[in-house]
Each structure stands twice: as C-alpha cells, then as structure tokens.
Amino acid sequence: MSGTEGNRAYGRKPFRRSKSHFTDRITADGRDGWPVEPGRYRLVVSRACPWASRVVISRRLLGLEDALSMAVTDPVQDDRSWRFTLDPGGRDPVLGIGFLSEAYDAREPEYPGGVSVPAIVDVPSGRLVTNDYQRITLDLATEWTALHRDGAPDLYPARLRDEIDEVMADVYEDVNNGVYRAGFATDQEEYAEACERLFRRLELLTERLGNRRYLVGDTITEADIRLFTTLVRFDAVYHGHFKCNRWKLTENQVLWAYVRDLYQTPGFGDTVDFDHIKRHYYQVHTGINPTGIVPLGPDLSGWLTPHRREELGGRPFGDGTPPGPIPEGEEVPAAGRPPEKGTGRGTT
Ligand SMILES: N[C@@H](CCC(=O)N[C@@H](CS)C(=O)NCC(=O)O)C(=O)O
C-alpha cells in the first residue's frame, strides 16, 4: 500500500473509515478454519494506534501473552506501510518479514486495500487471518477463554452485552472515530459537526461517569477499554493535531480522573507509549502537519497522580485479579512513559 490513512484522507472527500477487509474469526470451535491454539498466531500492533491498543490491553488483562505473541511495528510507516524496523535486522523475529504487507500478500496476492493494524497472522503459513479491529477483542474475551489466566476478568459479560454494545456504538461514532472525522475534515462544516458531536458526547460521558467508576456495571469492561484508548491520546494528539480543542482532558475533572484511574490499573498504562503515539500522528499525517514537527508537550507528569475514583466503589476486576507484571521484552521504553517522581526527566 502506498500513502497513509492521514494523507489519503487529505483530499477533497470527507473522511470515511474503510471497512476491515479480512473478517475471519479465530474461535474455540474453529468454524472459520482458525481454531484457538496457543502459540499459533501472532498479533501485530502499533502502540500508536488506538484500535490496535485495544487488543494490547485485552491481551494483558486476560493473560494471553504466552498464548498469543505480539509484534510491535515502527510507529512511523513508510510508503510500504507498517514495518518491523524496531527488530534486529528490520525483520519480525517470529514471522521473518520486514513489512506487515507481506502477511497480507501471503493471504491475498496483490491485495489492493490498505494494510492496517491490529492484525493477527497465522505463524505456520505466514498468512494474515484477520484485521477486524471491531471483532478481535470481543473474540479474545469470549472465544479464547480456555487460555485465559486464572483470575482473568469477564470483559464482555453476557448479562450486560446490550448495554455495553449501546455505549460502545455511541463512543465509536462520536469519540473513537469522531476525533478522526474532525482531524481529517476537509471543510469547516464537516470539522465543526464532528467536533460538536465529539464534545457533546464527552459531556454526556462526563455525566455518566460522575458517580460511577466504570461505564457499564461496576467492573472494567470492553466499553472502558475502547473509551480509554481515545482518551489517553486526547491531549497528546487529538487536542492539537486533530483540532479537538474545545477543552483539554486535564480540564475535565471527571474524565481526567477516570482515564488516570484506568491508566494506573495494571494492563492499561503499562501498554501506552506516548512517544510512539506522538511520532506516529505528527510525522505520518503530513497532509495536516506538513513539517512533521512533533511537539514537545504536553507535560505527562500528571498521569501518575492520585485520582480518588476508588471512593466511587467498583471492583476493577470483578471476582478476578489484576494481571501480573509486563512480560520481559514488552516493557514500554522510558521515552514513552511519564517521568517517575524525582527523576527530573523531561516532558515528552
Ligand atoms: N482496519 C481499520 C481500523 C484500524 C486502523 O485504522 N488502523 C490504522 C492505524 S491507527 C492503520 O493501520 N491504518 C493504515 C495506515 O495508516 O496505513 C481500517 O482499516 O480503517
């Protein structure tokens, strides 16, 4: 694929998110030909990407790190899209490829669509299985249960699914995708409409989260993961780069505390790389940031401050337990994390 999401979108047409093309599912019964199996598949992500980050968080919360290995791409694509330049020799050590597009081509030669993350690749054949970002996390929660860790939370409880789906649909339309519609708008009206809807929805979510710790029920669910991955990027990229600047998250007491609470919950913040996030958005979308300059701010030190959301009650993991430490080799480098107290490390 040539070009990138941002640059493709910077034309005369309104921003439209393309449908995921490969929608095979990896299931317990293997009905699409892809049974759940430990060690068989490789998850390919960019830590910059909010859709991929959902999967990174779910995989951690559910303790699937050993069962489903993970490849992290360079946050900055080139004209062949996502690449494994962070790995020795520029190749993913498990798949042996330099570009994610090779797995797409192995699945469908001359595949004409975009190469996107998250993607799951079948290791033995090197073929892409799915890039269906709306489905992958739901399947990790409901189809991969045999491989979940002891104490894994139920992220998509059957009795709450209708409510979770409803919340997620609004969050998707106005927030997850809303920031992109605002950022890649090509006329004033389109931008204003997306921006109005985004902030209207954020106000409604503020009301909802004012007296309850999580979006649905009293535990963390898929709905929180999906809202988190947009909110955690808000001040760093959406506020400036995408012009979603009616207010900053740090100016909204409720949402700022909500997102900090999640950030400080094992499995959330320990997957976030602010350095990858900023470099990807500001350097790749040259249509809306032609100089490619990456801003130095914002100051990240607030992410680790007390949030006091535990006073609202709630049981983050329900009857389960938090995940253990990040597996060796998957730690986010210091450049992508807020400065630890007393280190005097900078703001980026
Ligand atoms: N699969 C979806 C959603 C996933 C997605 O948009 N991922 C982005 C990164 S955040 C991506 O890989 N875009 C392709 C590109 O920028 O080249 C899509 O194609 O729109």
| pLDDT value for 15 | 79
User: Could you give the maximum distance between any two Cα atoms of the chain, in Å?
Assistant: 55
Position 2 pLDDT exceeds 90: no
Position 129 pLDDT exceeds 90: yes
Known binding site for glutathione: residues? Answer: 82
CA distance 86 to 75: 9
Strand-strand pairing, 119-122 and 41-45: antiparallel
CA distance 262 to 253: 14
Give the residue extent of every domain in the chain: 5-147, 158-336
- Ligand 1 in contact with 5 (CB < 6 A)? yes
Position 8 pLDDT exceeds 80: no
Distance 176 CA to ligand 1 centre (A): 13
Topology alike, domains 5-147 and 158-336: no
The C-alpha angle 17, 119, 228, rounded to 5 degrees, equals: 65
Tell me which residue of 213, 208, 46, 167 sits closest to 156, measured CA to CA.
Answer: 167
| pLDDT value for 19 | 64
- Ligand 1 in contact with 133 (CB < 6 A)? yes
- Ligand 1 in contact with 345 (CB < 6 A)? no
119 strand-pairing partners: 44
214 contacts: CB under 8 Å, gap ≥ 6: 220, 221, 223, 224, 314, 316
pLDDT, mean over the chain: 94
- Ligand 1 in contact with 76 (CB < 6 A)? no
CA distance 175 to 177: 6
CA distance 65 to 303: 25
| Each residue's pLDDT tens digit, 230-258 | 999 999 999 999 999 999 999 999 999 99
Contact yes or no for 225/54 (Cβ under 8 A)? yes
Known binding site: residues? Answer: 82
- What CATH code would you report for 5-147? 3.40.30.10
Q: How confident is the model at residue 18 (pLDDT cuts 50, 70, 90)?
A: low
Contact yes or no for 243/9 (Cβ under 8 A)? no
- Ligand 1 in contact with 131 (CB < 6 A)? yes
Atom of ligand 1 nearest to the CA of 116: 12
316 contacts: CB under 8 Å, gap ≥ 6: 153, 214, 219, 220, 265, 322
Q: Quick check: helix, strand or coil at residue 242?
A: coil
Tokens 């489905």 -> residue = 135
Q: Does domain 158-336 have CATH number 3.40.640.10?
A: no
**Phi, psi (deg, nearest 5) at residue 43:** -85, 130
Distance 60 CA to ligand 1 centre (A): 22
Full-model pTM = 0.94
Position 344 pLDDT exceeds 80: no
- Active site (catalytic) residues: 49, 180
Distance 221 CA to ligand 1 centre (A): 23
Pocket test for ligand 1, best of 5, 47, 83, 226 (most atoms within 8 A of CB): 5
**Phi, psi (deg, nearest 5) at residue 258:** -60, -50
Distance 116 CA to ligand 1 centre (A): 4
